[in-house]
């Protein structure tokens, strides 16, 4: 029963933060969406920051599961990394276009967002290490360049389709570097 209440609260927090962002969301909004009182919500989360962390991490883990499922259809590292980056980053791009207040969900000023990027960075690093046992570049460094480089491309993308094409090119260049780079 307590797990059900917590699960409801986390899902409600995720939904409300996606709609209104961190600044505009109140604990009352989350409590209402979860079908509970504010005092009951405060028993689960001491404040809005903890609710934001739980909701954001919930969405990230669910998204990572979706990406893992999609990778079974991919062949080769480049296709896996392209699929993962596009699924992760174009979804965020689309969200920011449709709900500008939700930009908080990808704001690196929030510790939970940095933790989520670290989680995806580790995921990409593991994909690289699994596919290329001895890459010319360390997998964790390549994963960081891949993820944050692709993230930065959204600033010049005019559309989700354009962003996906830029990500595809970026992944191809990173994968080429993994094979052809000379260690410093």
Kindly state the helix (H) or strand (E) to which residue 16 belongs, with its residue range. helix 2-24
Question: Where does the pLDDT of residue 1 fall: very low under 50, low under 70, confident under 90, or very high at 90 and above?
Answer: very low
Verdict on whether the full-model pTM lies above 0.85: yes
Q: How far apart are CA 91 and CA 172, in angstroms?
A: 20
User: Cα 48 to the chain's mean position, in Å?
Assistant: 20
pLDDT digits (tens, 9 = 90+) for 76-98: 999 999 999 999 999 989 888 88
* Assigned token pair, 88: 């992760």
Q: How confident is the model at residue 181 (pLDDT cuts 50, 70, 90)?
A: low
- Of residues 51 and 138, the one with the higher pLDDT is 51
Question: To which residue do tokens 């290329």 refer?
Answer: 132
The DSSP string of 24-60 is H--HHHHHHHHTS-HHHHHHH-SSHHHHHHHHHHHHH
Q: How confident is the model at residue 101 (pLDDT cuts 50, 70, 90)?
A: confident
Confidence at 183, pLDDT banded by 50, 70, 90: low
**pLDDT greater than 90 at residue 103:** no
Q: 141: closest CA among 71, 132, 108?
A: 132
What tens digit of pLDDT does each residue of 135-158 get? Answer: 677 899 999 999 999 999 998 998
Instruction: Report, as an integer, the average pLDDT of 67-80.
Output: 95
38, 31 Cβ separation under 8 angstroms? yes
Closest by Cα among 173, 176, 59 to 119: 59
Taking the C-alpha atoms of residue 157 and residue 109, their distance in angstroms, rounded to an integer, is 22
132-148 as b/e: b if 16+ CB within 10 A? beebebebeebbbbbbe
Collapsed DSSP state (helix, strand, coil) of residue 162: helix
């Amino acid at each position: 029963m307590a797990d059900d209440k917590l699960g409801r609260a986390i899902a409600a927090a995720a939904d409300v933060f996606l709609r209104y962002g961190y600044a505009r969301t109140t604990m009352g909004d989350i409590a209402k969406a979860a079908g509970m009182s504010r005092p009951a919500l405060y028993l689960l989360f001491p404040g809005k920051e903890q609710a934001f962390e739980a909701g954001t991490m919930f969405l990230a883990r669910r998204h990572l599961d979706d990406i893992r499922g999609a990778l079974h259809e991919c062949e080769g590292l480049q296709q896996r990394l392209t699929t993962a980056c596009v699924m992760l980053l174009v979804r965020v791009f689309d969200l920011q276009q449709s709900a500008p207040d939700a930009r908080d969900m990808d704001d690196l000023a929030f510790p939970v967002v940095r933790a989520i990027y670290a989680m995806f960075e580790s995921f990409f690093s593991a994909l690289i290490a699994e596919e290329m046992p001895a890459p010319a570049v360390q997998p964790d460094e390549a994963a960081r360049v891949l993820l944050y480089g692709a993230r930065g491309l959204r600033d010049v993308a005019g559309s989700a389709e354009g962003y996906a094409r830029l990500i595809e090119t970026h992944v191809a260049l990173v994968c080429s570097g993994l094979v052809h780079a000379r260690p410093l």
